[in-house]
Amino acid sequence: MDKCKHAQTPAGEGEVECDKEEKLMYPYSEAVDSLLYLSTRTRPDIAFAVIKASRNMENPQKRDIVAVKRIFRYLSGTIEDGLCYRFDSNLKLTSFCDSDYAGDLETRKSTIGYVIKLGDGPIAWCSRRQPIVALSSTEAEFIAAAECCKHTMYIKTLLGELNAKPEDVLFKIDNQSAIALIKTGVFNKKV
């Protein structure tokens, strides 16, 4: 797919309709496996799209193959992109997390995503479905924040053991009600 038309994003909104019983001959498993390897090593920008594509490894449909091909089209247009680490970067640990609410239409589970940066470069990232069904967007964001915080504290401890204590630890979340829940520990329902 090196001569294909480039995609601007790794995932699209629309889905291709297809027959449920349709069997397609495509090396889907191998393609998704290679994308999983890439997304966990050097390309956090495709992590969400790859995790979504990997949910249908057993019985891929036409829409799944179209989604995987879109990821490859995105990669062919961004082949020069990658991670950059600078030696003179500060030791500030910054975590960003987010969640969608009930984004998986089949299970109604939310998907969490987070990126942890040391200085200017990302050192850890994750995109995966939450293990439980969240009852609100606040709860979905709180679960994402808890997962991200656990990983951030692990990295902070690891850096401390390597005598590279971070100068500062910042935690960024965009949901105001989840921030209030984290600060106070009290969840107020509006009746």
User: Over the stretch 56-67, which tens digit does the pLDDT of each residue have?
Assistant: 888 898 999 999
What is the value of pTM for the model shown? 0.81
What's the pLDDT score for residue 120?
A: 87
Q: HSE, CB side, 13 Å, CA atoms: give it for residue 143.
A: 22
Q: HSE, CB side, 13 Å, CA atoms: give it for residue 135.
A: 2
Per cent of the chain over pLDDT 90 is 58
Q: What is the distance between the alpha carbons of residues 128 and 110, in angstroms, rounded to a whole number?
A: 9
How confident is residue 88, by pLDDT bands cut at 50, 70 and 90?
confident
Q: What is the distance between the alpha carbons of residues 3 and 30, in angstroms, rounded to a whole number?
A: 20
The pairing of beta strand 111-118 with beta strand 92-99:
antiparallel
Q: Which amino acid is at 185?
A: G
- Of the candidates 55, 3, 4, the residue with the CA atom closest to the CA atom of residue 29: 55
Task: Specify the residue for token string 């001569």.
Answer: 3
Mean pLDDT of 1-30: 73
What lies within 8 Å, CB to CB, of 169 at 6+ separation is 92, 93, 94, 95, 152, 156
Q: Which CATH number is correct for 92-184, 2.20.25.90, 3.10.620.30, 3.30.420.10, 2.30.130.40?
A: 3.30.420.10
Where do the domains of the chain lie?
Answer: 1-11+19-82, 92-184
What's the pLDDT score for residue 191?
A: 35
Residues facing residue 128 across a β-bridge: 112
- Of the candidates 93, 94, 125, 132, the residue with the CA atom closest to the CA atom of residue 110: 132
